[in-house]
Structure 1
Amino acid sequence: MEITLTRLQNLKRLVAECHSQQAFAGEAGLSVQYLNQLLMGHRNIGEKTARKLELALRLESGWLDRGNDEQRSPVDVVLSQKAITVGLMFDRLPPDQQAAMQKVIAALAQSVDGHDQADCG
């Protein structure tokens, strides 16, 4: 399959995982207008744009170039050392405290970004 078609299919899959194109565009660091041009095939997803998207979405470099028949798997997401440390600490909490922390983190993320992070990827 041609790489531009593969990238487009993968982009469409990622956008479908999100609750709206506007939320996805914000998450990916793109304008909604530019995202629509990519999705409609009016612009190709070039090398530079593909890598920019992968970085913004915390995907493994080259992810958009591969045939990804299944939805994103946890191993495709690249986490910082800080995020890994926080995740390990979170896993040690009892379930009721985990639920409380999820609510706190979701509220903080929404206040910072203006949208619910849990709705995208």
Structure 2
Amino acid sequence: MDECIFCQIVAGKRPARILYTDELATAFADIHPVAPVHVLIVPKRHIVSVNELTPGDEALVGHLFTVARQIAEQTGIQQSGYRLIINTGPDSGQAIFHLHLHVIGGRRMRFPMG
């Protein structure tokens, strides 16, 4: 989708600080971080949200979580802890309608959320 900002980043048409990329996913720094480490992991294929996932996407979803673990290692937050978030739909706070997994850490997280 040409108008999707995440698709543009994946295609190299929009700048981003890329931390990881492979044939299935790309991870890049969030431009509005809420913590010292805030990375977004997106599938290269445009998927609007969790609601569009099919049983055939199980391996892709598992891969996104494997990349999250790698990002936690790479950014030095694996041992101290981190939060993984997927927002789905407008009421959740999803602002970019391309499935993405937030990796957030580098400080103690607050709870409750929302």
TM-score (norm 2): 0.27
- Kindly indicate which of the two structures has a greater share of residues assigned to helix: 1
